[in-house]
Structure 1
Amino acid sequence: MLFRLARFLRHRLLVLPVVVFVSGGLLTYASWAAFDRLAQSEVQHAFSLRADQTIDRFQRRFSSYQDTLDAIRALFVASDHVDHKEFIDFVGTLSFDTRSPGTVALGYIELFEGGQHAPIVYIYPENTRNLSILGLDSFKDPVRKSAMSEAMQTNRPVLSNPVLLFQNDPDIIRGVAPNEPLGYLLYLPVNMAGSGQSSTAAGWVYIAFRLDEALAAMFDGETVVLDYEIFDTTNPADVRPVFQSSIAPDARPPGFSPLVAERTLSMLGRNWHVRVFQPGNFNGPSSRLRVAGL
């Protein structure tokens, strides 16, 4: 009887440490798993916030274009006639071309000869490339004419399809050729019905810009944690990439599966798809960020 009791107690003493060890291991694993879930949740939340901030900055970039054109149109609305010097002096005070990298020109296009011609009349800044395109008829290019006509009909700012800017080749009035830098033109009609001057459009103020340069400069000098791609999806049959961060998805380390956030938005008559990727060094709210650009 005593022998059986001793053997039972010995087994109990041997089992107890095992039970304690296993229980401790399970508790540690459970704690680690809970902490890991919390950490991943914080990373996901921080990543989502950063993605939303990218979208917000993208939208504000276009808002700044529209605000600038509104200011220039106000000059025309407030005057019986805006001459060359008045236009150049006023646009110069806006400093928009220096404050907004990617801006190629701000100008005024006038409607002539019963609405059949629309030459560039004023342009700023007056550098060699810009001066070389004064007088060009924007209506000769169907892409430009389509955007200008829509702006005239709706009395709203309208963004063109991507085009080869005249500044790249003033003799070219055609579609975009492969591998040539794309530009956009934002048109705003002046002297529309209700402006107090005329029942028809007298012309357009416009901004010509390189969107890739504008987006690359948005984060210049700042700590940016995101890699991203932006596409112009207005024409589903011709989706155009307009910006890609310095680390493309196919260049990521093997086995690295980043968080991805995708957003779609519509602005100024165009549709955009933004794809945001988690970079390898993103660890949550305290992560240091790096510049992302072309």
Structure 2
Amino acid sequence: MLQEEFKFRFNETVANIERRLSGYDLVLRGAAGLFVASDSVDRDEFRKYVSELNLESRYPGLQGVGYSLLVVPDDKERHITETRREGFAGYAIRPEGTRDIYTSIIYIEPFDWRNQRAFGYDMYSEPIRRAAMMRARDENQVIVSGKVTLLQETDKDKQAGFLMYVPVYRNGVTLDTLDARRANLTGWVYAPFRINDLMRGILGAHVREAGEARPRNLRRRHAIDKKPDV
């Protein structure tokens, strides 16, 4: 009897998680569609789109929706200058250093105090995030990262996290080869998740029974599944 009850609860939990992640998948694809439908998406357009999603009430555990821009070295200084002219005087791509490729979180909504901590961060500079971003780019699919500590975390109520990525490419190009996808990438729409918040939102009263172990469907889609070194 106990074994049957455990099996039932386990299957129910997995189904609930898969349904919720499918919803998040659609959210990211919809945000990516903004870029497909326009030559450019400005900060105000992105903010309005995410605001209409009502993330806090409809998608608990989803820390926000953002856009990470691919920045080639020759464009780095121009990009920083233009972003500072938008009113972000202290903007910089973090961490500092010389790299072959830069990315920067230029949009992240809601732009609250937690998410502002991620503004300008180069996720491609960190191995676990980079692996998921590369896989999303190469496969043109929504990809879930391995476990990380989000930039949004503080010492209070610190949680493990993960991210979902969907690639954004130049409009009007054919993407049927790997080389084409790599050559025409412009960035990634992404979402950061705090795992405890996510599980509470999905499972409600059953969250303690489910524990904090990551579900099988996340493991299947991980680009890397190891403890981060940051």
- Could you tell me which residue of structure 2 aligns to residue 270 of structure 1? 222
- Could you tell me which residue of structure 2 aligns to residue 166 of structure 1? 151
Report SS of the residue matched to 2:188: strand
Report SS of the residue matched to 1:166: coil
- Could you tell me which residue of structure 1 aligns to residue 52 of structure 2? 93
- Measured after TM superposition, the shift of residue 227 of structure 1 is 2.2
- Measured after TM superposition, the shift of residue 47 of structure 1 is 5.2
- Could you tell me which residue of structure 2 aligns to residue 203 of structure 1? 187
Report SS of the residue matched to 1:146: helix
Q: Give 1:181's match in structure 2, choosing from 159, 164, 180.
A: 159
Matched, 1:67 2:23: no
Q: Give 1:227's match in structure 2, choosing from 209, 216, 223.
A: 209
Task: Give the alignment's TM-score, normalised by structure 1.
Answer: 0.56
Report SS of the residue matched to 1:231: coil
Change in 2 beyond 3 A, CA 1:188/1:45: same
CA-to-partner distance for each residue in 1:214-252, whole Å, 9 max, x for gaps? Answer: 1122232x6x598233534xxxxxxxxx8xxxxxxxxxx
- Could you tell me which residue of structure 1 aligns to residue 111 of structure 2? 126
- Measured after TM superposition, the shift of residue 152 of structure 1 is 0.6
Q: Is the contact made by 2:64 and 2:109 (CA closer than 8 Å) also made in structure 1?
A: yes
Counterpart CA distance in 1 for 2:24 and 2:219 is 12
- Measured after TM superposition, the shift of residue 104 of structure 1 is 1.6
- Compute the RMSD of aligned alpha carbons: 3.1
Q: How many residues align?
A: 190
Give 2:119's aligned amino acid.
L
The answer for unaligned runs of 5 or more in structure 2 is 74-99, 176-180, 224-230
Counterpart CA distance in 1 for 2:19 and 2:121 is 31
Q: Is the contact made by 2:159 and 2:196 (CA closer than 8 Å) also made in structure 1?
A: no
Asked which structure has the greater CA Rg, the reply is 1
RCO higher in structure (CA 8 A, sep ≥6): 2
The answer for unaligned runs of 5 or more in structure 1 is 1-39, 170-178, 233-241, 243-263, 272-294
- Could you tell me which residue of structure 1 aligns to residue 69 of structure 2? 110
- Could you tell me which residue of structure 2 aligns to residue 218 of structure 1? 202
Give 2:31's aligned amino acid.
I
